[in-house]
Structure 1
Amino acid sequence: MRLDLSKDKINLDALFVKQQKIDFDNGDSLLKIAINMPDINFLDIEIYETSINRLINKTHKYQLSNLKIIQVDAHTKDNNFDSFQLFLSGPWYKKKYHKLRLVQTAFLDLLSKTIIHNGKIHIATDWVRYVTTMMNALKNHLHFKNTQNDPIYSLRPGHRPITKFERRSHRPGHDVLDLIFKNEK
């Protein structure tokens, strides 16, 4: 079933009964996680119609009931998600585009309201300058605490699959670093 989001409102509580995770990417990594964690519900927010159709087909192929896909600008009520995952997002490496980077104070303020107390933010990137910026933004935010000793990066958890971008980046100087912080709000 497809919703016309210009007319319909989404009630996330009606979509899912249990805990929720949210993901923005082409859906491949989330699909693998949803297959391996059938007791947890996932929401994939996509922009591109082709990614949506491909992911819907794979969801049907694997008969997944714990993965929902929407094409929308996401807004949600406070304390609605237990985690947020961002794997290898665009680093916007040119200085004039740094303002487009997702992990900044204003976005972290929004996440601190959206993620439950002790919920986690899990970010992975292969861009050293961007990971340093993200680490600083997270460790300087009032509500987030590193699950490791500052400023130590986390090891890749076994549940995080290697993304297609990560496979492409396996070359010298492009190690993938994981940041896992918890919301102490």
Structure 2
Amino acid sequence: MAEQLHTEIEEQKPKRTIRSFVLRQGRLTKGQEQALQNLWPVFGVEYNASSPIHFQPNQHVVLEIGFGMGASLIEMAKNAPEKSFLGIEVHKPGVGACLMAIEENQLSNLNVMCHDAVEVLENMIADNSLDKVQIFFPDPWHKARHNKRRIIQPAFVELIRRKLKVNGILHLATDWQHYAEHMLEVLNQATGYKNLSSTGDYIPRPADRPITKFEKRGQNLGHGVWDLQFQKQ
């Protein structure tokens, strides 16, 4: 009887969601801490499952998931003032650094969030509302036993597909070849996407994706980089 009761309790427990990230909160610099205090009310968007983000019908919206310290996102927002950018990052030092750069560059077309991107997409982003979703150099979780933590999985790319407008773009980039192959396999098997590669696999780095210091360092060490772009049909 006790064993049956224990089994029933276990079955009633909510399933633990596998996270694609681990909160390794580094120490905030004084500037980052001040930015989170003073600039978050201006450029930050609080997570609120009951208050979806409303975009204008003619608004060109680019969502970046996992922007790190925000260097490439800042550069893209500077180069395309006619577009609206939304960045999601779970690590506060990166959010603080990005807020500082937004103010320094006087950008009015970039906002940031500090929350799990899956929950933001599910609860705050309307279907068919995004022109582009970009994920650059996500954690590769290169050990085989950790591969299940990779953010690019069938359910996630289907969630993104729902949020993209027709002809919207999903742009991925990684410097891990095995992860690139995994991304390509997942997207090739997904419904409702078209690979924009002329060779059916990867594309050259688009001119609008800046090369980060991290990427340059990898190139100097002989590391490859793989870009993928898939379009919602």
Normalised to the residue count of structure 1, the TM-score between the two structures is 0.90
CA distance in 1, matches of 2:134, 2:183: 14
CA displacement, residues 129-168 of structure 1 (integer Å, 9 cap, x when unaligned): 1111111111121111111235331010111001233123
2:188 is matched with which residue: 139, 142, 147? 139
Q: What fraction of aligned residue pairs are identical, expressed as a percent?
A: 32
Larger displacement relative to structure 2 (110-119 or 21-30):
21-30
The question of whether the paired residues in 1 share the 8 Å contact of 2:90 and 2:114 is answered with yes
**How big is the shift at 1:12?**
3.5
Map of 1:59 onto structure 2: 102
CA distance in 1, matches of 2:131, 2:76: 15
Once the two structures are superposed, the pairs formed by residues 5-16 of structure 1 within 5 Å of their partners are 5=47, 9-13=51-55
CA displacement, residues 66-99 of structure 1 (integer Å, 9 cap, x when unaligned): 0001112313110111111111111111010010
SS in 1 for 2:55: helix
Any gaps of 5 or more consecutive residues in structure 1? none
The question of whether the paired residues in 1 share the 8 Å contact of 2:137 and 2:173 is answered with yes
The question of whether the paired residues in 1 share the 8 Å contact of 2:173 and 2:227 is answered with yes
Letter in 1 for 2:147: H
Letter in 1 for 2:62: K
Normalised to the residue count of structure 2, the TM-score between the two structures is 0.72
State the 4+ residue runs in structure 1 displaced beyond 3 angstroms: 2-8
2:79 is matched with which residue: 16, 32, 36? 36
Instruction: Flag the structure with higher helix content.
Output: 2
Count of residue pairs brought into register by the alignment:
182
Instruction: Flag the structure with higher strand content.
Output: 1
Any gaps of 5 or more consecutive residues in structure 2? 1-40
**Larger Rg, first or second structure (1 or 2):** 2
SS in 2 for 1:13: coil
Letter in 1 for 2:224: D
Q: CA distance change for structure 1 residues 90 and 134 in 2, over 3 Å: closer, same or farther?
A: same
Map of 1:49 onto structure 2: 92
Larger displacement relative to structure 2 (53-62 or 103-112):
53-62
